[in-house]
Amino acid sequence: MKLRAPYLIYFGDVADAAHAKTGLGLIQWRREQCAGQMRAPGCRVDGGIREMCIDDAAEAGVKSLLIGVAPSGGSISAAWIADLAAAARAGLDIVSGMHARLSSFPEIAAAARQSGVRLIDVRTPPKNIPVGTGEKRSGKRLLTVGSDCAVGKKYTALSIEKEMRARGWAADFRATGQTGIMIAGSGIAIDSVVADFLSGAAEMLSPSAPANHWDVIEGQGSLFHPSFAGVSLGLLHGSQPDALVLCHDPTREFLLGMESPQRFSLVPPRENIELCLALARRVNKNARFVGVSLNTSSLSESERAKLYDQYAEETGLPVADPIRDGVGPFIDRLETEQGE
């Protein structure tokens, strides 16, 4: 599955940026592939790119409409159906990260059949995933891991891809969640894979590559998350990472959305790193961490400086907030190691 650019980003009638993360992320990370945006009456989000109706898009050579909105519940709003069907009729592939399947809407399915376009549900994994083998693949791999969900694993991985490319390295972001897949244009929604094939899916996602090539793999969940740790471990084993970056929110005390009736504290970076390496070394003896990625947006300068010192001392690793500092320190670390 490979998405066809250029894209029309569909925002529908979304009311706020929090629910338009997918579309805004696409524009942020793949601006050059986004030909325009389409907004319905009532839409309060603006991606800052050219406004297009479906006819404009077809005329401009747009190949796919990407649904850039993720309402709570993951459903496709009835208000979008006519637009999506019109886009399909106009020859655009329709790409969705929702739980509901595009083909389950008769009007959209009929339009796609008629014009021969693809309806792509990026959450649906490929059918031919093998059982993992643990077999060593060529090329290098970096995996972002976390102390919780929503601690910047995707953002950090995308930042690392960008920094590596800026330094002239061969690097590809490998997506494991629906927004990441839309940004990358391909990938596997790892949490939708049947459990038996978890590590096999991760192996498929980052195949053998030239010796100096880096796959930068988007992590999922956390080894310490009682809902999703199995996904995290299957992804860790299948990724066989040479390098890892830990993503952490220093202001978060408990796992997100798990506060009641039972709370789970976020595990401190050092404990997280040690357990993660104990597991990763089963498939790659050289696995090591090269950085701690923090979200410090809510902290003052002095609080931030103190935290950086604390984590650097605790872990012996470079510490950075990718939004404020970039991820240069992590890549410097990799360069230093390679120079040794």
Q: Does 128 bind a second copy (CB under 8 A)?
A: no
Binding mask 203-232 for a second copy (x = CB under 8 A): --------------------xx-xxxxxxx
Residue 228 or 308 having the CB closest to a second copy: 228
Q: Does 133 bind a second copy (CB under 8 A)?
A: yes
The interface with a second copy within residues 259-298 (CB under 8 A) comprises 261-262, 264, 275, 278-279, 282-283
Selected range binding a second copy among 15-23, 25-33, 40-48, 125-133, rule: CB under 8 A: 125-133
Instruction: Select from 237, 248, 304, 333 the one that contacts a second copy (CB under 8 A).
Output: 237
Q: Does 134 bind a second copy (CB under 8 A)?
A: yes
> Could you report how far apart the first and last alpha carbons of the chain are, in Å?
40
Query: How many angstroms separate the CA atoms of 66 and 118, rounded?
Result: 12
Query: How many angstroms separate the CA atoms of 100 and 298, rounded?
Result: 35
Residue 164 or 188 having the CB closest to a second copy: 188
Q: Does 191 bind a second copy (CB under 8 A)?
A: yes
Nearest Cα to Cα of residue 240 among 288, 192, 196, 272 = 288
Alpha carbon dihedral 21, 27, 30, 35, in 10-degree steps, equals: 130
Instruction: Select from 199, 272, 295, 315 the one that contacts a second copy (CB under 8 A).
Output: 199
Query: How many angstroms separate the CA atoms of 113 and 177, rounded?
Result: 27
Residue 4 or 264 having the CB closest to a second copy: 264
Residue 266 or 327 having the CB closest to a second copy: 266
Q: Does 254 bind a second copy (CB under 8 A)?
A: no
Q: Are 215 and 149 in contact (CB under 8 A)?
A: no
CB contact set of 249 (below 8 Å; sequence gap of 6+): 147, 148, 151, 152, 266, 294, 295
Q: Does 200 bind a second copy (CB under 8 A)?
A: yes
Residue spans of beta strands (DSSP E) within 68-161: 93-96, 119-121, 140-146
Q: Are 189 and 144 in contact (CB under 8 A)?
A: no
Instruction: Select from 14, 20, 85, 235 the one that contacts a second copy (CB under 8 A).
Output: 235
List interacting residues with a second copy (CB under 8 A).
131-136, 190-196, 198-200, 223-224, 226-235, 237-238, 258, 261-262, 264, 275, 278-279, 282-283
